[in-house]
C-alpha cells in the first residue's frame, strides 16, 4: 500500500515536470538538515518535549524565471524523536517524507545571482518506515502535514531554508488505562532548518 502510494506520487511528479514549458529550469539537488519537533495531543493528559531529529534526501526544483514562480518536490528520510511526559520514554520514528511546495523566488536586479529570497508552502506526505512504538503507543502508517517556510538562494546554487510544519492528520494514537481506555491522538508540530546543494 505504502509503496503503491509512493510510486503514484513519483509518477505524478514526472508528469508535472514533463508538462512544464521549455523555458522552465529543472534542477536536481541534495538536502540535509535538522528538525525540532513535538507531538501536540488533542487532550492535555499527555504532552511531549521538543526534541531534535534530522532529515536528508533528494529534491527536484523547477523554476519558471519569467514569473519567479516554481515548485519543489523532495524525497526525504526523516528521523523524529519525541519524549512523552506521561512516561518519560523517547519514541523514535523514521519516515519517508515527500513535501510538494509551490514557491515564489524574488529576483532583485544586480544581486539575484548572489542572493535571492524565497517563500514556499505546500503539503508534506509522510510514510512510516520504522518506529519503536508498542501496543499502547501506535504510530500511523501515513499522515499529512502542511508546511510554510522561507529562505535564500546563494549564488544560485546553495539554498538555505527554515520550515514550519503543522500536522493536518493524526501521527500517533495512545491507548492506556490512565485514560480510561480512551484513544488520545497526537499531531506533529516541527521546525526544520536545512541546506540544499542544487546542480
pLDDT tens digits, residue range 10-55? 555 555 555 544 456 899 999 999 999 988 887 666 767 778 999 9
> Mind listing the pLDDT tens digit for each residue in 123-157?
999 999 999 877 778 889 999 999 999 999 999 99
Q: Average pLDDT of 88-109?
A: 90
CB 117 within 8 A of CB 106: yes
Distance CA 39, CA 42 (A): 10
Name 54's bridge partners: 34, 79
pLDDT at 163 over 50: yes
Query: pLDDT band at 86, cuts 50/70/90?
Result: low
Query: How would DSSP label each residue in 93-161?
Result: EEEEEEEEEEEEE---TTTTTTEEEEEEEEEEEEEEEEE---SSEEE-SEEEEEEEEEEEEETTTEEEE
pLDDT in tens, 117-126: 999 999 999 9
**Alpha-carbon distance 129 to 97, whole Å?**
10
The mean per-residue pLDDT over the stretch 60-85 comes to: 89
Give, in degrees to the nearest 5, the angle at Cα 31 between 103 and 105. Answer: 20
Task: Supply the pLDDT for residue 39.
Answer: 86
Amino acid at each position: 500500500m505504502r509503496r503503491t502510494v509512493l510510486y503514484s506520487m513519483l509518477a505524478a511528479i514526472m508528469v508535472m515536470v514533463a508538462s512544464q514549458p521549455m523555458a522552465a529550469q529543472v534542477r536536481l539537488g541534495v538536502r540535509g538538515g535538522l528538525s525540532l519537533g513535538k507531538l501536540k495531543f488533542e487532550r492535555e493528559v499527555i504532552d511531549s518535549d521538543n526534541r531534535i531529529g534530522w532529515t536528508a534526501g533528494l529534491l527536484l526544483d523547477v523554476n519558471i524565471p519569467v514569473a519567479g514562480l516554481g515548485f519543489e518536490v523532495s524525497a526525504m528520510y526523516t528521523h523524529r524523536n519525541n519524549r512523552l511526559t506521561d512516561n518519560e520514554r523517547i519514541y523514535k520514528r523514521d519516515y519517508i517524507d515527500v513535501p510538494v511546495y509551490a514557491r515564489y523566488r524574488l529576483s532583485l536586479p544586480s544581486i539575484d545571482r548572489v542572493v535571492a529570497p524565497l517563500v514556499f508552502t505546500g503539503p508534506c506526505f509522510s510514510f512510516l518506515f520504522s518506529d519503536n512504538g508498542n501496543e499502547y503507543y501506535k504510530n500511523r502508517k501515513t499522515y499529512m502535514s502542511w508546511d510554510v517556510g522561507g529562505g535564500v538562494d546563494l549564488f544560485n546554487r546553495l539554498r538555505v531554508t527554515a520550515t514550519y510544519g503543522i500536522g493536518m492528520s493524526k501521527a500517533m494514537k495512545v491507548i492506556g488505562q490512565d485514560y480510561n481506555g480512551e484513544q488520545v491522538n497526537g499531531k506533529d508540530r516541527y521546525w526544520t532548518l536545512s541546506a540544499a546543494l542544487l546542480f
